[in-house]
Structures are given as structure tokens and as C-alpha cells.
Amino acid sequence: MRNSFYEEAKERFLLGVNYWPRRKAMYWWKNFQQEEVEEDFDRICALGLKLVRLFLLWEDFQPFREKVDGQAIDNLIKVLRIAERLGLSILLTLFVGHMSGANWVPFWLIEEKEERSRFPVIVQGKEGRFKVRNLYADKEILDASAYLIQKVGEAVKEEKSLFAYDIANEIDNLLLPTSRQEAKEWVRFIIQRIREVDSAHPITLGLHLKNIEEERGFWPEDLAEFCDFLSMHSYSIYAQWANSPLDGKVAGFTNALIMRMSGKEVWHTEFGICTTSGSSFAGEGYYLATEEQARGYLEQSLEGLYRSGAKAAFFWCYSDYHPSLFHLPPFNKAVYERSFGIFRADASLKPYKQIIKAYTNLPLVRVYALKEIDNQKYYTHPLSSLKEEYKRFR
């Protein structure tokens, strides 16, 4: 692997951020403005962050099965070159259907029949009870996926700011695979297609809390066969087994757990908490923290991630979203998604500067990734296994 940044990253603990523009959110690629990205990346760079995770919203980059949008690709290249000028490295997330409490789906990925879904399904701007085709096994969809990989890979593989590919964002929230084997074969297929185009850059796939609370097809030991490193997303506000919504030990624990389930190094590509300018508030299925509570939570989370041997930690997310977006999905229903940012909607920084500075470019804690947990046994009763592991961890 000739990716020099990947080798350098093995020496230092790196901090990054997940990026959507504060005034555009998931509507960014449809309304791209280069100046906006330049201003945002300047703020990210000035804060000392080194990594930015980007998302290719599937319907924007592949509006038809046999067509990849050339303008979207051109805009992506502009973003990568802005990052290069500022010394930022990009983790590029390819298949983005699930994002921020909603599923954004190209029309050609939908069946004619309707289906109730855990998340709102949005197709061409309209929310409905759309049923997603089997993206893991449907040959037409697999061929279309390979085509997107080819076009994106050919366009970005020589860009100096590209650090690695993330296959997808919580893809099982878009559609559950029918079996562990189906999930495994899909990961194998996608990674093979990426490496046919670009053999230089590492590849990962992010797991999230549901993947360790339930058996959802994606097992850490299976991903370890194909991925160069694994990724984890954790949010204590969604963890019913955590001590509280502000349990800062969840991040370090889940990172260590995935290492022990996979025997692979793990990057924590999402962690964060939503805030309110007033008093803390517990809603149905979410918690809004004060900024001071959030600061303490993030500090404890970073300490846990650092000591667990995580190679990097990416804040979710860059900024709170502008109120002009609140009438649009997902923010019209998922109120908590409005305020996960490290920056406020007015572009001012929340009180996180000192904790970010404290964990910037620290030498890595050497924790060897040893596979210690039998995945088959764990997934026999996953939630019980998880609770028992967390009890021992604490």
C-alpha cells in the first residue's frame, strides 16, 4: 500500500470531523458552492483537525443506474483539492443512502410495492413508504454499484488529499441483509471492485451500535477479512445499556470491543452529542445536552478512545444546521439531528477548543488488536453479551 498518510497515521492519534455544510446539510451536492467549502475547511484546519469524512449521497452521484453525474464528480474534485491546499486528508464514504435519521434513495433502487420503514425514506425529495431493492444481491444493483465505484475511483485515485475509502454509511439502516453470508459477500464484492480501480488507498466499513446490540449480518470478524481497518460509530444517547446519555465511557468501550471481535485496528469515525442553548432536555429517544455537559462528555470520550488504542476519532459533526433547514427532512422530524456540531449554526465554536487541542497529535497508545471474542458465541445473545462485556469493562 503506497498511501504515505496511512503509514504516518500509525504514529499519531488523529482527530477529524464528519462534514456537511451548515446551510446545506444533505442538500449540499445539489446546491454546491465552492466558497462555502473553502470557508468551512479553513475553520476545520484552524482548529487543528487533520481528517474530514465526506459523504457521496447516492441519488446525487448516481441519479440513474447507468449514469454517474459528471457535475457532482467535478464538485467532489474541487473539494478534494481545497482539502489538499489546507493539508486536510479525506475519508470518502461511497454508498450513502442512510444519513442523519433518514434514507435517501435513488428512484431506481425502489420497488413498486410499499413498505413501512424504521426511518423516513426520501426519493427525489418526496417522503413515502418506499421499499428498497436488495442492494446486496440484485445483479442490476450490484452492476450499478460497480459502475459508481469505477467512475468515482478513476476520478479521485490520484488526488493527494484522498486518504481512504469508507464503503458505506450504516448500510444496514438502509436495508438489512437477509443473512450474514449475504452481507459478507457484498463486502467482498464492493472491496474487490474498489481495488480493481484503486489498489493504493485503504478501505474500511463503519459499524454502529445496532451491529453490536443485534445480529444484523455484519460481523466484525468478517469485515476484518477484507477491510484494511475497521470503523466504529458510537453515541451514548442511543445506548439503552449505557449508564446515562452522558456516559463518556461508551466510545472507548465500543472501540475496544470491535478490536477484540475483529483482531483489527479500529478508527472511531463517529462520536458526538447534540446540544441545546438552554437547559438539558430528554425527549423520546434522544437527549439534548448543555454545551458544558457536552464538553465534559466529549473530553471523557476522547480520553477513552485514546487509551483504547483508537487510531483516530472523528467528531459528529462539523456544525449545527441553520434554522432555514428545519422544515426539511430529516430535521422536520429528527430534532436532535439539528445540533450535533462542534460549531454552532452561526459558525462560532462551542466550548471545545481546549479539549481538541489537548488530544491533537498525541503519540498513539500501543494496544495490539487481538481477536479475543468468539463472534458466533457473542451473536447468539448479542445484547446480553454486550451488557456483560460493558459490565466487565467498567
Q: In percent, how much of the chain has pLDDT > 70?
A: 98
378-391 pLDDT, tens per residue?
999 999 999 999 99
260-277 pLDDT, tens per residue?
999 999 999 999 999 998
Q: What domains lie within the chain, and their CATH numbers?
A: 4-393 (3.20.20.80)
In the structure, what pLDDT confidence band is assigned to residue 174 with cuts at 50, 70 and 90?
A: very high
Closest CA to 90 of 18, 22, 33: 18
- The confidence score (pLDDT) of residue 89 equals 98
In the structure, what pLDDT confidence band is assigned to residue 117 with cuts at 50, 70 and 90?
A: confident
Task: Identify the residue with better confidence: 193 or 285.
Answer: 193
pLDDT at 3 over 90: no
| Mean pLDDT, residues 279-301 | 88
237 contacts 276 by C-beta, under 8 angstroms = no
pLDDT at 182 over 90: yes
- The confidence score (pLDDT) of residue 278 equals 81
Helix (H) or strand (E) holding 330: none
Helix (H) or strand (E) holding 234: strand 230-234
- Distant-in-sequence, close-in-space partners of 229: CB < 8 Å, separation ≥ 6: 164, 202, 204, 264, 265, 266, 267, 311
**How many angstroms separate the CA atoms of 359 and 303, rounded?**
8
Asked if residue 330 has a cis previous peptide bond (ω within 30° of 0), the answer is yes
350 contacts 43 by C-beta, under 8 angstroms = no
**How many angstroms separate the CA atoms of 271 and 265, rounded?**
17
Alpha helices in the chain (DSSP H): 4-8, 34-46, 58-61, 70-86, 139-156, 171-174, 180-197, 209-213, 220-226, 250-262, 291-308, 353-358, 375-378, 382-393
| Mean pLDDT, residues 141-147 | 99
Break the chain down into helix, strand, coil percent, rounded to 5: 40, 20, 40
Closest CA to 255 of 283, 232, 278, 222: 232
Order the strands of the 102-104 sheet from edge to edge.
98-99, 102-104, 121-123, 126-128
Does pTM top 0.85 for this prediction?
yes
33-77 pLDDT, tens per residue?
999 999 999 999 999 999 999 999 999 999 999 999 999 999 999
**How many angstroms separate the CA atoms of 299 and 68, rounded?**
41
In the structure, what pLDDT confidence band is assigned to residue 180 with cuts at 50, 70 and 90?
A: very high
- The confidence score (pLDDT) of residue 1 equals 47
Strand-pair partners of 271: 234, 315
In the structure, what pLDDT confidence band is assigned to residue 169 with cuts at 50, 70 and 90?
A: very high
Half-sphere exposure of 165 (CA within 13 A, CB side): 27
